[in-house]
Amino acid sequence: MRKLCLCIFLTISLFPQLLRAKEDDFVRQPPRRVIFTRHLRSDSDPQQVHISLVGKDHMKVSWVTDKKHCKSVVEYGKESGKYTAKATGDHTSYKYFFYSSGKIHHVTIGPLEPSTTYFYRCGGSDPEFSFRTPPSKLPLDFVVAGDLGQTEWTNTTLDHIQSIDYDVLILPGDLSYADTHQPLWDSFGRIVEPYASRRPWMVTEGNHEIEIFPIIYPTGFKAYNARWPMPYQESGSTSNLYYSFEVAGTHVIMLGSYAEFDADSEQYKWLQADLAKIDRKKTPWVVALLHAPWYNTNTAHQGEGESMRLAMEELLYRARVDLVFQGHVHAYERFTRVYNNEADPCGPVYITIGDGGNREGLALSFEDPASPLSLYREPSFGHGRLKMVNETHAFWGWHRNDDSNFVVKDQVWLQSLSSSKTCSRSVNQKVTSPTGNDEL
Ligand SMILES: *[C@@H]1O[C@H](CO)[C@@H](O)[C@H](O)[C@H]1NC(C)=O
Ligand SMILES: *[C@@H]1O[C@H](CO)[C@@H](O)[C@H](O)[C@H]1NC(C)=O
């Protein structure tokens, strides 16, 4: 008996994770190493190909060539190898200390038909890529992944993302974790190419995109703006750091946690105007993304999004935004509908999804006891899927990376606020009272 006890004691003290595994049947995963994805094509071949939506029926194709003579041209068509159309775009490049980027090409192609596969070639050079355009009407499948990075976890997350079809990927900030080490931006472009060249990736910035260096690079976002330009002009924004776009019944607002957001800022005025333009008949769903969470019960990054929440929450609430995705915290958390720190049936559902696979590891500790506003929280790597089923219903699922498998750990049906009788009255009436909930 004594021997058995000693044996159990030794086992537990040597392998404490066994105890935890028993608690919730899952061992928290440690961070994994960074993958540096090499450039295996020739210097004049396209690399780091990725696509993003532009307006109703256009697509921007972005890529990099090491050689400067390569043309910013995309040939495309509906059959492999048969390019019936061609478009020319522009290019840019940038320097960051001793680093000089390759030639970064951006070409907008279209008009394109919805739900259609196009084959394309960049700069007149192989390889051929293909993408599928999103549908023009609901249903529509979003993938949501935040704080992606380029580690072995990123690889697993991307693998899981690809394993089920989807239409558009949306990312609430923190892409490459290059953190001023510019070759990591190129490596990130290569690790995501097999995914981001097939489906549009729509992103907004996180703190890892800033890359400010005092005096020399005082405004930051040099690499991010050069490599990942989003369609901000199309939504009336003057900055790549915040914009909106519409796809199949959904108005998506990409906010900038690292741009000015106070009431007299450009971003605030743009957001006000953008919200006022939304037609809920055309886009019954409104989704917003931002990096530093407004609602967060993890002990990591507490309060970092608070001043932005104080400045902008009321605008989103009055516009009856359905969902807000947040990044930054390396964990998953889902809140109930909230406004001003209280449960509110007409407020957005807040979801933190900063668990894509960054190199810094997970944010393991949550405040105790849990706030009643927080319905599910777990520090694990993973990604989310938002299926906009129809005008009134959407299905959200969080897919946890459980080593090589994925496991759907959290799921919930959501009803659009534009279809809620109580909440939609104020959508249509454009509430002007400061709290906006007087009819509830
Ligand atoms: C990353 O994933 C790809 C595709 O699944 C695989 O071929 C590659 O070996 C992986 N790389 C690493 C370093 O795990
Ligand atoms: C929308 O989808 C939900 C869930 O599948 C279903 O119950 C509802 O009837 C659908 N509404 C319409 C108008 O089709």
If you measure from the C-alpha of residue 338 to the centroid of ligand 2, how many angstroms do you get, rounded to a whole number? 24
Q: What is the pLDDT of residue 24?
A: 53
Catalytic annotation present for 301: yes
140, 281, 390: residue to mutate for ligand 2 pocket, most atoms within 8 A of CB:
390
Predicted pLDDT at 21: 38
pLDDT tens across 252-301, in order? Answer: 999 999 999 999 999 999 999 999 999 999 999 999 999 999 999 999 99
Q: Which residue has the higher pLDDT, 431 or 194?
A: 194
Query: From the CA of 147, how far away is ligand 2's center (Å)?
Result: 33
Active-site choice (91, 105, 160, 301): 301
pLDDT of residue 335: 98
Q: 169 in ligand 1 pocket by Cβ < 6 Å?
A: no
Q: How confident is the model at residue 220 (pLDDT cuts 50, 70, 90)?
A: very high
Residue 233: Cβ within 10 Å count: 14
The closest ligand to the CA of 416 turns out to be 2
Tell me the pLDDT band of 427, cut-offs 50, 70 and 90. low
Which residue, 36, 35, 32, 28, is CA-closest to 359?
32
Beta strands in 183-300 (DSSP E): 201-203, 243-247, 250-254, 285-290
Give the mean pLDDT of 205-214. 96
pLDDT by residue (tens digit) across 405-420?
Answer: 888 999 999 999 999 9
Higher pLDDT, 391 or 436: 391
**Whether residue 433 has pLDDT greater than 50:** no
Task: Report residue 426's pLDDT band, with 50, 70 and 90 as the boundaries.
Answer: low
Structural domains of the chain ordered from first start: 47-132 (2.60.40.380), 140-419 (3.60.21.10)
Q: Quick check: CB of 139 below 6 Å from ligand 2?
A: no
Q: To test ligand 1's pocket by mutation, which of 153, 155, 158 has the most ligand atoms within 8 angstroms of CB?
A: 155
**Biggest CA pair distance of the chain:** 80
**For residue range 158-190, what is the model confidence (pLDDT) as tens digits?**
999 999 999 999 999 999 999 999 999 999 999
Length of the chain: 440
DSSP string, 334-357: EEEEEETTEE-TTSPEEEEE--S-
Q: Extract the tokens encoding 65.
A: 């060539």
Q: Residue 378: beta bridge partners?
A: 332
Average the pLDDT over 329-345 and give the result.
98
* 23's tokens: 């608690």
pLDDT of residue 232 exceeding 80: yes
User: Ligand 2: does its nearest atom lie under 6 Å from the Cβ of 392?
Assistant: yes
Q: What is the pLDDT of residues 35-56, one digit of tens each?
A: 999 999 999 999 999 999 999 9
pLDDT > 70: percent of the chain? 91
Distance 402 CA to ligand 1 centre (A): 16
pLDDT band at 29 (very low <50, low <70, confident <90, very high): confident
| Distance in Å, CA 269 to ligand 1 centroid | 44
Q: What is the pLDDT of residue 244?
A: 98
Query: Is the pLDDT at 16 greater than 70, yes or no?
Result: no
DSSP state of 27: P
Q: Is the pLDDT reported for residue 4 higher than 50? A: no
- pLDDT tops 60 at residue 18: no
Q: Write down the pLDDT at residue 424.
A: 81
Interval 59-71: pLDDT, tens: 999 999 999 999 9
357-368 per-position pLDDT tens digit: 999 999 999 999
- Residue of the CA atom closest to atom 5 of ligand 1: 159
Note the pLDDT tens digit of each residue in 370-395: 999 999 999 999 999 999 999 999 99
pLDDT at 19: 36
Average pLDDT, the chain: 91
**Looking at residues 5-33, what average pLDDT do you find?**
53
pLDDT of residue 25: 62
Three-state secondary-structure class, residue 175:
coil
From CA 305, how far away is CA 314, in angstroms rounded? 14
Q: Is 135 exposed, middle or buried (0-12, 13-18, 19+ CB in 10 A)?
A: middle
Averaged pLDDT, 17-21: 38
Tell me if 32 CB under 6 Å of ligand 1: no
* Range 318-335 average pLDDT: 98
Tell me: pLDDT of 3 over 80. Answer: no
- Average pLDDT of span 20-28: 54
Which ligand number lies closest to the CA of residue 389?
A: 2
